[in-house]
Chains A and B, each alone.
Chain A
Amino acid sequence: MIDLSGMFNALVASPMIIPAAFAGIAWGILGGALPGISPSITMALLLPFTYGADPTAAVVLLASTYLGAEYGGSIPAILIRTPGTNSAAATVIDGYAMKEQGKAGEALGISLYSTLLGSIFGVALLITLTQPLANVALAFQPTSYVGLGVLGLSVIASLAGESLIKGMMAGFIGLMIATVGTDPVTGNNRFTFDDPELLSGIPPILVMVGIYAVAELFEQASHPGWQQTNTADASIKMPDALMRARLRVSQIIGAIIGFIEGLTPGGGGTIAAFLSYNEARRWSKTPEEFGHGSPEGIAAPEAANGSVSATALIPMMGLGIPGSNSAAVLLGGFLIHGMTPGPMLFTKHYDVVMGLYAGKVISLFALLIVAYLILRPCIWLVNRPKHYLMAFIFALVLSGVYAIHNSLFHVGIALAFGVIGYAMKYFRIPTLPMVLGVVLGFMVESNYRRALVLSDGDHMTFTEDPIAATLLALAGAFILISLFRHFRDSAKAQEEKTAA
């Protein structure tokens, strides 16, 4: 049952939710429109600003930024053939073709309309599906949390991308980072090098800003500037009734695939967008138009992106397991306000959850309004020289990280994680498993040891708790399936090499 009065009460209690939703959408569109600045980076840049804000407004700001960035990525994809975000790459194909046919306004309109419909679908599912998890919360014991943490860490297997070994390495490095600071049971100092600034550990926010934002700025230093658009006077033209009817099937396909990928760890917008594009072409009455300016070729991936921006929050909020970079940054937003996403979130911070739901609904209206208002500034921004933009973003990162704890030491840590993130990119080691390790490490260790203290060191306690046993079994199944897929893909690649 949807608690509408809870959402309304949260809105009354935290009226800042409304400006936060609008600001998040605006910031997200601007960030998403800048090529190379992904939704997670756009959100990571905002994290320091949320530190002193009202917790509900802060998470609404971040969640709205996610949606705004998913739409913003399609603007340069359509206008300059450069996707602002990875998930907008599929939009380039038909979006730019439509622009070349003089239909840039129509393409932008289809993109906005489809993102909006996908988001409405996603938000409805977010509100409906996350709520039942609250009922499980009361039954959770330390052993259950260990099971949940292990399940989260088993996600590493599916997030590892091309190499399971590298994914596991990244995950363990994340777990190692989580051990820095005061021991959760005995209070001993670990890996602090006698530095008082490390006693409370390395805040996950610094890891995220470092490996997402700083590492990308390092990467961008060697990239040439992007193309500029000659469509400075473009305006959004929403599809008419005939066009809306034509887009319906592709939007439904996009929204459903976006929902599935949002729930799947490691899925995310990019996979959803390309899968939707292919499926929309398969189900289209005019598949031959795909690649030559088909409106459905824009509608499907954009509906998927909109859907993912909401449904990716379901495992993050319900289980505390972020399945994508953007969800991980949003999780960071919860953490810096002392809220741990997961089953207890609904019990301890029900008002914040309701506020987030209300904010997500408001952000749908905000998207429709802000997208019109911000298009011109967006085009202006994309047409600015890249060196100014990158320099300003770097200055923003340095200022923002300092602002979190008024610590230059933390600025140094963020830069260090920038180097680590850059090196991981070079060695093709996925970064998300590391973030997962950092986020889940403390929860796993503290509850694991607490559970053993309560059971006099008997490990069978994890099988006696039905929730823990189920979660551990799920984790085992997850790892086995991922291993099977990994070995199958490796064998296929080896065969192709031999054949070649």
Chain B
Amino acid sequence: MNRDFVAGFLGLLLAMGYYAMAAKIQSSQLADDVGPGGLPKIYGIALASFSILLMVRARLGVVQAEGKQRPVAKEIFSAKRSMGILVIGIGYILAVPYLGYPLSIAVVIAVATLYNGGQISLRLAGIAALGAFGLWFVFVFLLHIGQPAGIWPDLIEGMRR
């Protein structure tokens, strides 16, 4: 099973799921001839058709004028490394409502640096703190764009009481 076949298969699954949802879209009395589900259904069918074509072409072993592909082992290694960055991003989304922006983003800088090959050191802590302060300064102080404050305001308020 080559890459194109897998891509075609995934495309087909997406098209089927999308078409099923498009078919369920309720048409209102205001609807025109095409309706809210009209074009989505066509898009679903088109994606399914091209996905099937890709799968058939992959099975027939049709050659394309294409460049070099990386070895599969290298791709798997690359994908695993990428997932780490994704996990750090998801971790940020989960943590920032509680830890607040400055602390969370400092942790992101530190963890992402370590993950990309950096080493635990005072320098790393300093750069993470400085980076977080720099981003906070630009977004919150200069541009007046609010970032999540976390539990700290409530906690400080509670302690004052």
Residues of A within 8 A of B (CB): 49, 52, 162-163, 165-166, 168-169, 172-173, 175-176, 179, 183, 185-188, 190-191, 214, 217-222, 225, 385-388, 390-392, 394-396, 398-399, 402-403, 406, 408, 411-412, 415, 418-419, 422, 426-429, 445, 448-449, 452-453, 457, 489-490, 492-494, 497
Contact = CB atoms under 8 A, between A and B. Distances in A.
A46 to B, nearest CB: 12
Contacts of B93: 408, 411-412, 415
B86 A218 contact: yes
Interface string B145-161: 11110000000000000
Contacts of B139: 399, 403
Contact of B112 (A179, A390, A493): A390
B157 to A, nearest CB: 22
Contacts of B25: 188, 190
15 contacts: A165-B54, A168-B50, A172-B43, A185-B31, A190-B37, A217-B85, A221-B78, A221-B116, A385-B117, A387-B118, A394-B112, A403-B143, A408-B97, A428-B66, A452-B34
- How would you classify the secondary structure of chain B's contact residues: helix, strand, loop or mixed? helix
- The 8 A-B pairs at the shortest CB distance, nearest first, are namely A218-B82, A387-B116, A391-B112, A222-B81, A183-B36, A427-B7, A222-B78, A391-B113
Contacts of A403: 139, 143, 145, 147
A214 B26 CA distance: 36
A421 B18 CA distance: 19
Interface residues of B, number: 80
Contacts of A453: 32-33
B11 A395 contact: no
B38 to A, nearest CB: 8
Contact of A186 (B30, B79, B89, B112): B30
A176 B18 contact: yes
B118 A165 contact: no
A218 B53 contact: no
A161 B132 CA distance: 40
Contacts of A186: 27-28, 30-32, 35-36
Contacts of A497: 63
The residue in A221, A408, A419 that gathers the most chain B C-beta atoms within 10 A of its C-beta is A221
B46 to A, nearest CB: 5
A377 to B, nearest CB: 15
A398 B105 contact: yes
A186 B35 CA distance: 8
A169 B32 contact: no
A461 to B, nearest CB: 12
A386 B116 contact: yes
Given A422-B82, A452-B32, A490-B65, A179 B116 contact: no
Nearest to B108: A395
A183 B35 CA distance: 9
B115 interface: yes
